[in-house]
Chain A
Amino acid sequence: MTLSLSRALARTTGRGRERSAAVATGLSLALLTAVLPTPPLAPGLGTPPAAQAEAAKQRPLLRISAIPDQNPEKLNRLYGSVASELSRQLGVPVKYVPLTDYAAAVTAFRTGDLDLVWFGGLTGVQARLQKPNARVLAQRDIDVSFKSIFIANTRSGLKTVRNIDGLRELKGRRFTFGSESSTSGRLMPQYFLAQAGVKLKDFAGGAPGFSGSHDATIALVQSGAYDAGAVNEQVWRASLHNGKANRAKVMAIWKSPGYPDYHWIAQGNLDQRFGKGFTTKLQKAILSWRPSDPQQKVILGLFGAQQFIPASPGEYTRIEQVGREIGKIR
């Protein structure tokens, strides 16, 4: 565009009197705008670290978050309840910080912007490798042996798969994972596909899709945009239950063997910031949730679990191994 600009010659002349008048008018306008109140626009991670550190000294705020594996409305409902329950149990202000991306959750944990995060298997390992003093606090009862479900559009002609070798049927099909960092929606499905001899470039178009979340995978496969996909078992069941997944249009074709998945990870410095023994208190609070308490029942229901159980880093060595094989951990 420089071409026309450079050709344009201009002769602008400014006259002194006009200029001083303009300055005066400009200044009065400037003052007027400055006194007008401006509404805060940015929620969430708005506070810069310096201000955060300052605020933390006065009244420590526990910032919790989660990998965005489902629709944001559901996440807001779930972690809003978690925040208020933890705040009630621990007596500290708790804030849920919504995130938009799996990798962003790992980064925000490394940079210290988050105190407690609900990670997936892979993102949890990534986070602990980047922040070695982080503490694994708890997992759900269902996370000990979590499963992926391979789903297919009913018009695709794909049939239920009897054993893992049957996944070869997916060669040449349009296939989508969830997020590229998802354990149940990408890492383990890719691992099982590899065991069946299916490489990523065997799919139609020479590459799989990455829908972004489990809900999106179900919607896309159901619509026929993809023939098949891999999702988290718990989200699949919830979708069947609430009618989001239409059995006439989308069906499960294979359930994977179990593997450890989601878990709560806390920063290693919570005791210094919130007082001695805080990390243990936090862990105990999460482990104490039971369906007998109405508020905790809602939380557990949204998590698709009966209760939380203790977890240790050692349980995720297999995830780390698969992560290294696939190149997501290096």
Chain B
Amino acid sequence: MRPAAPLLPLLPALVLLPVALLLPGLLHGGGWDLLGQFLLAALRPSGDPLVLGSLLGGLGITVGMALLGWATSLLLGVPLGLLSSRLLWRSLAGSELPAELLRRLLAVPRSIHELIWGLLLLQLVGQQPAVAVLAITIPFSALVARVVSDLLDALPERNLQGLLAAGTPAPAALLTALGPPLLPGLISYGGYRLECALRSATLLGVFGLGGLGNELLLTLQSLQFHELWSGLWLLLAVMLALEALVSALRRRWSMPARLALAQRQPVGRSSRELLLVAAALVPLLLGVGRALAVDPAALLHWQALPPLPPGGWQGALALPWLAMVGQTVLLTLVAAALAVGGAPLLLLLVAPWPWGGWLLRLLWALGRLWPPPLTALLLLFVFKPSLLTAALALGFHNLGILGRLLLEGVEAAGPEREEALRCSGSGTRLALLYGRFSGLARAYLAYGAYRADVILRETVVVGMVAGTGLGSQLRESLSAFAFDQLALLLAAYALLTLLGEDLSDRARRALLRA
């Protein structure tokens, strides 16, 4: 039996049944007072100029790190993406082999979360601003490279073949035939990466790599909720402004939305503005780099790692690997199901109320904004530490990201079908379900599969706080300076995420084919 298409996105929400059954057993309720204080403090953030000054300084560093990390990842990622394009190598050299090799190679930096890169670099080159920038750059440029090469290889080859057949030299033919159609997708994706970079920079700060994240963690740990909310509202304002800017530019330049069904035909009159923005970015980035005292040359001063104890590898191998990997996988699945299934379910629930949509938007914005380890710490006020607690934290964060995407998609789908259903007498929820969700179902689930892959990478972030999976061991190994354990942990993460990526690719392709 196959469920009807509009019901498909709701299927992952079935995970709520076991979660609802298990959660009461995890409640200890010891910290309800604290949670109440935390929520009330949202209405009364601290306005102390000293606090605000320090928060603004932190925010400046976070935004600066995000900008620099984002820009370098594009600078590196786009050429790497071109180099790992099968189409390009086939047209220029007649063989796809170099592209294949580079793709495999780039899978490794991509498979490791920026937080792990950051913590490792901290050990290798000492604490300095360039570490956070590089930590964002490494996985991000590999991700950009993959998307660029996928975009390129999916472009129709007719124009290219035509130019080549007419005797145009290969480089010129490639540029003419593929450059213009590649650009909109690339720019749209680039904007999305900037949003990701802001989230990553905040997260890196939580773990002490500079910026607002650390202030958020410290105010939470010392239970100074008014100060905490001042920081959160500031960050929310910046994040929403950035998202609004990115989507406004995307619309203005007629770039494709990320979950768009209707295909718009972009036209080239915006090229002047594009160039202008690109030109303005250069001095801005240089200024930010100077203000943050980022010195790329300092990254070359490698420090020797502390020596390993004799026979240490056996100790490292004796760790409970199976249990840790199992927990990590389970954590991924539960968090992904919560996020993917939760978004459409919540949207349906609030559909009859006009203010419900806005409430959801705010909730999702907070979800995106909150670094998951902070959510985990908050949850620990009332829940026992467990895999489920970690999954809730991770799920909430990704719910914010998926929810926004779904809402964009729903709005882009157009109201015609939904209104037709409503006029013919069906309820608000049914009209939304059949009128809008049905068309989106597969594209949304396909994106969900991709997100699950991202969530697998992110498990390390909550694991370090909630004490579950590979993440909890990573924290212990780092503070014990056990580099043998760290090396094995890294290998385990890389293997796991590469496997996960493959599975999610297959799932995505299957969903889109049908």
Q: Give the distance in Å from the alpha carbon of A330 to the alpha carbon of B284 in the complex.
A: 46
Cβ-defined contact, A330 with B467, below 8 A:
no
Residue of B nearest to A7 (CB): B263
User: Which residues of chain B in 1-40 are interfacial with respect to chain A, using CB atoms and an 8 Å cutoff?
Assistant: 26, 28, 30-31, 33-34
Residue of A nearest to B284 (CB): A33
* Inter-chain contacts of A2 with B (CB < 8 A): 147, 150-151, 154, 450
User: Which residues of chain B in 182-200 are interfacial with respect to chain A, using CB atoms and an 8 Å cutoff?
Assistant: 183-185, 188-189, 192
B322 interfacial by beta-carbon distance below 8 Å: no
- The binding surface of chain B is classed by DSSP as helix
* Inter-chain contacts of A107 with B (CB < 8 A): 122-123, 126-127
Given A2-B151, A211-B221, A223-B381, verify A13-B467 contact (CB < 8 Å).
no
* Inter-chain contacts of A227 with B (CB < 8 A): 30
* Inter-chain contacts of B284 with A (CB < 8 A): 33
Cβ-defined contact, B276 with A330, below 8 A:
no
Q: Give the distance in Å from the alpha carbon of A38 to the alpha carbon of B64 in the complex.
A: 12
A276 CB → nearest B CB, Å = 27
User: Which residues of chain A in 35-52 are interfacial with respect to chain B, using CB atoms and an 8 Å cutoff?
Assistant: 36, 38-43, 45-51
* Inter-chain contacts of B280 with A (CB < 8 A): 26, 29-30, 33
Cβ-defined contact, B127 with A174, below 8 A:
no
Q: Give the distance in Å from the alpha carbon of A226 to the alpha carbon of B308 in the complex.
A: 36
Residue of A nearest to B256 (CB): A8
Q: Give the distance in Å from the alpha carbon of A25 to the alpha carbon of B277 in the complex.
A: 10
Q: Among B125, B130, B512, which residue has its beta carbon within 8 angstroms of that of A3?
A: B512
Cβ-defined contact, A4 with B259, below 8 A:
yes
Q: Among B189, B381, B467, B481, which residue has its beta carbon within 8 angstroms of that of A103?
A: B481
Cβ-defined contact, A41 with B291, below 8 A:
yes
Mark each residue of chain B from 223 to 265: 1 if its CB lies under 8 Å from any CB of chain A, else 0: 1000000000000000000000000000000001111100101
Given A8-B263, A107-B123, A113-B127, verify A30-B154 contact (CB < 8 Å).
no
Q: Among B127, B156, B183, B475, which residue has its beta carbon within 8 angstroms of that of A108?
A: B127
Residue of A nearest to B384 (CB): A205
Q: Give the distance in Å from the alpha carbon of A30 to the alpha carbon of B287 in the complex.
A: 11
Cβ-defined contact, A42 with B292, below 8 A:
yes
Cβ-defined contact, B31 with A23, below 8 A:
no
Q: Give the distance in Å from the alpha carbon of A242 to the alpha carbon of B193 in the complex.
A: 47
B303 interfacial by beta-carbon distance below 8 Å: yes
A145 interfacial by beta-carbon distance below 8 Å: no
Given A4-B260, A5-B185, A111-B125, verify A100-B208 contact (CB < 8 Å).
yes
A212 interfacial by beta-carbon distance below 8 Å: yes
* Inter-chain contacts of A206 with B (CB < 8 A): 385-386
B49 interfacial by beta-carbon distance below 8 Å: no
Q: Give the distance in Å from the alpha carbon of A46 to the alpha carbon of B131 in the complex.
A: 11
Residue of A nearest to B205 (CB): A100
Q: Give the distance in Å from the alpha carbon of A72 to the alpha carbon of B218 in the complex.
A: 8
A329 interfacial by beta-carbon distance below 8 Å: yes
B425 interfacial by beta-carbon distance below 8 Å: no
A162 interfacial by beta-carbon distance below 8 Å: no
Cβ-defined contact, B126 with A50, below 8 A:
no
A285 interfacial by beta-carbon distance below 8 Å: no
Cβ-defined contact, B256 with A39, below 8 A:
no
Cβ-defined contact, A42 with B286, below 8 A:
no
Mark each residue of chain A from 94 to 134: 1 if its CB lies under 8 Å from any CB of chain B, else 0: 00000111111011101111000000000000100110000
* Inter-chain contacts of A126 with B (CB < 8 A): 481
Q: Among B26, B183, B192, B298, which residue has its beta carbon within 8 angstroms of that of A12?
A: B183
A153 interfacial by beta-carbon distance below 8 Å: yes
Q: Give the distance in Å from the alpha carbon of A13 to the alpha carbon of B268 in the complex.
A: 5
* Inter-chain contacts of B258 with A (CB < 8 A): 1, 4-5
Cβ-defined contact, B256 with A4, below 8 A:
yes
A314 interfacial by beta-carbon distance below 8 Å: no
Interface-located stretch among A14-22, A255-263, A292-300 = A14-22
Given A10-B183, A51-B295, verify A223-B275 contact (CB < 8 Å).
no
Q: Give the distance in Å from the alpha carbon of A223 to the alpha carbon of B225 in the complex.
A: 14
Query: Residues of A within 8 Å of B, CB-based: how many?
Result: 87
Residue of B nearest to A9 (CB): B181
* Inter-chain contacts of B301 with A (CB < 8 A): 48-50
Interface-located stretch among A83-91, A191-199, A213-221, A267-275 = A213-221
Q: Give the distance in Å from the alpha carbon of A141 to the alpha carbon of B2 in the complex.
A: 74
A27 interfacial by beta-carbon distance below 8 Å: yes
Residue of B nearest to A26 (CB): B279
B83 CB → nearest A CB, Å = 18
Could you count the A-B residue pairs with CB atoms below 8 Å apart for me: how many are there?
275
Q: Give the distance in Å from the alpha carbon of A226 to the alpha carbon of B265 in the complex.
A: 58
Cβ-defined contact, A174 with B384, below 8 A:
yes
* Inter-chain contacts of A108 with B (CB < 8 A): 126-127
Q: Among A23, A129, A181, A223, which residue has its beta carbon within 8 angstroms of that of B306?
A: A129
Cβ-defined contact, A22 with B272, below 8 A:
yes
B380 interfacial by beta-carbon distance below 8 Å: yes
Q: Which of A48, A180, A216 has the most CB of B within 10 A?
A: A48
Mark each residue of chain B from 428 to 450: 1 if its CB lies under 8 Å from any CB of chain A, else 0: 00000000000000010011001
* Inter-chain contacts of B154 with A (CB < 8 A): 2, 6-7
* Inter-chain contacts of A328 with B (CB < 8 A): 479-480
A71 interfacial by beta-carbon distance below 8 Å: yes
Residue of A nearest to B147 (CB): A2
* Inter-chain contacts of B326 with A (CB < 8 A): none
* Inter-chain contacts of B288 with A (CB < 8 A): 38
Mark each residue of chain B from 153 to 189: 1 if its CB lies under 8 Å from any CB of chain A, else 0: 0111000000000000000000000001101110011
Mark each residue of chain B from 276 to 300: 1 if its CB lies under 8 Å from any CB of chain A, else 0: 1011101110111011110101100
Q: Give the distance in Å from the alpha carbon of A130 to the alpha carbon of B79 in the complex.
A: 40
* Inter-chain contacts of A113 with B (CB < 8 A): 126-127
Given A5-B188, A50-B298, A205-B384, verify A12-B180 contact (CB < 8 Å).
yes
Cβ-defined contact, B60 with A41, below 8 A:
yes
A195 CB → nearest B CB, Å = 21
Q: Give the distance in Å from the alpha carbon of A110 to the alpha carbon of B184 in the complex.
A: 47
Cβ-defined contact, B265 with A48, below 8 A:
no
B46 interfacial by beta-carbon distance below 8 Å: no
Q: Give the distance in Å from the alpha carbon of A11 to the alpha carbon of B276 in the complex.
A: 20
A207 interfacial by beta-carbon distance below 8 Å: yes
Cβ-defined contact, A5 with B147, below 8 A:
yes
A45 CB → nearest B CB, Å = 5
Cβ-defined contact, B275 with A19, below 8 A:
yes
Cβ-defined contact, A329 with B256, below 8 A:
no
A92 interfacial by beta-carbon distance below 8 Å: no
26 of the cross-chain contacts (CB-CB < 8 Å) are A1-B189, A1-B447, A1-B450, A2-B151, A5-B185, A6-B185, A9-B263, A11-B265, A13-B180, A13-B268, A22-B272, A22-B276, A34-B283, A41-B61, A46-B292, A71-B218, A99-B208, A106-B481, A107-B127, A110-B306, A111-B127, A207-B385, A219-B222, A219-B223, A223-B223, A327-B480
Contacts A71-B218, A223-B34 supplied; 13 other A-B pairs, CB < 8 Å: A3-B447, A4-B256, A9-B181, A10-B183, A11-B266, A21-B272, A22-B276, A22-B279, A43-B57, A100-B218, A107-B123, A126-B481, A224-B33
Q: Give the 10 A-B CB pairs with smallest separation, nearest first.
A: A26-B279, A48-B298, A111-B126, A224-B30, A100-B208, A225-B31, A6-B154, A8-B256, A48-B295, A205-B384
